[in-house]
Amino acid sequence: MSSQHEKPAKKHSREWFEALVIAAIFATVLRIFVVESYRIPTGSMENTLLAGDFLFVNKYVYGARVPLAGFRLPAVESVDRGDVIVFKFPKDRSLNYIKRCIAVSGDTLEIREQQLYVNGKAFPLPEHAQFIGQKVPPAAADFQIFPKYSSFNKDNYGPLRIPRKGDVIVLNAETYQLYSSLVADEGHDISLMGVQVYVDGVPVKQYTVQDNYYFAMGDNRDNSLDSRYWGFLPERDIVGEAMMVYWSWDPGIPLLFDPLGKIFSARWQRIGLMVH
């Protein structure tokens, strides 16, 4: 009698195990290729997105990356100006950043007294964007700004053309700070000796760009570590487009020490908010 009961029990356990494995595989595929959850850690996108917002990121829209394969699936749409995008931080790809795409490959960008211009046309400030600091005058150069040693600052920047795949860029002592990180990130050794630029040990005067690039900025313009500080965003680092806030609470309240306070800090009005 006991052996007759053991067989159905084993079969039932195996079916549950198989169901769990299938569910895990499905969830993994969904996370890698379709939608992933992301938490906003800082205030760089205020007041469009707040620290403590949790949102879904659409990964298939720009073509999800295939792990370990070195290529992306076909894109449904291209990255456009105004898209809120999640990407691997080019200076530390273990980190995910979220910013707004301000300019795409081939665009010319300029900021004059906080007003952004793309291809000579005023780019409107996003609805919930803000300035929280004092306006910096044009003559005040900021050497933390990209490229180093330029006359740019956060409120007066450019004009600067965003590189596009196939562009032939001039490499010399004047453009070295502008393009050296791009060339290095595309897998080459680049150096400057005197006025001569060397790529992979060979003296060169020009270089053909291998990827498309973008320029990203936070909506909280005075509190955002963005392309104004670290440069061009490679297309290969873009993860996806922000879709919707599915949860939000105050990140300053510790869950471990004040669980009720954490729960009651939920921002119910933000749940279901579409990101744009």
Domain definitions of the chain by residue range: 1-33, 37-161+213-270, 168-208
Q: What pLDDT is attached to residue 239? A: 95
Closest by CA to 91, choosing from 225, 206, 203, is 225
Separation CA 241–CA 219 (nearest Å): 15
Given a contact cutoff of 8 angstroms between Cβ atoms, the answer to whether 36 and 52 are in contact is: no
Separation CA 237–CA 269 (nearest Å): 32
Q: Across all residues in the chain, what is the average pLDDT?
A: 91
- Residue 23 clears pLDDT 90, i.e. is over it: no
Confidence of residue 73 (pLDDT cuts 50, 70, 90): confident
Q: What pLDDT is attached to residue 155? A: 97
- Residue 1 clears pLDDT 50, i.e. is over it: no
49-72 confidence digits (pLDDT tens): 999 999 999 999 998 888 777 778
214-269 confidence digits (pLDDT tens): 999 999 999 999 999 999 999 999 999 999 999 999 998 888 788 888 888 899 99
- Residue 27 clears pLDDT 70, i.e. is over it: no
How many angstroms from the chain centroid is the CA of residue 129? 17
Out of 19-23, 74-78, 122-126, 258-262, the most confident range is 122-126
Q: What pLDDT is attached to residue 156? A: 97
DSSP 222-249: TS---HHHH-PEEGGGEEEEEEEEEEE-
Separation CA 186–CA 194 (nearest Å): 23
175-218 confidence digits (pLDDT tens): 999 999 999 999 999 999 999 999 999 999 999 999 999 999 99
CA atoms within 13 A on the CB side of 3: 0
Quick one: CA dihedral 32, 35, 41, 47, positive or negative? positive
Separation CA 98–CA 240 (nearest Å): 10
Q: What pLDDT is attached to residue 14? A: 77
Of 81 and 8, which is predicted with more confidence? 81
CATH of domain 37-161+213-270: 2.10.109.10
* DSSP assignment letter at 220: B
- Residue 10 clears pLDDT 70, i.e. is over it: no
Structure-token pair, residue 7? 């067989």
Q: What pLDDT is attached to residue 11? A: 63
Q: Which amino acid is at 212?
A: N
Q: How many CB atoms lie within 10 A of CB 24?
A: 10
The predicted model scores a pTM of: 0.89
Q: What pLDDT is attached to residue 9? A: 62
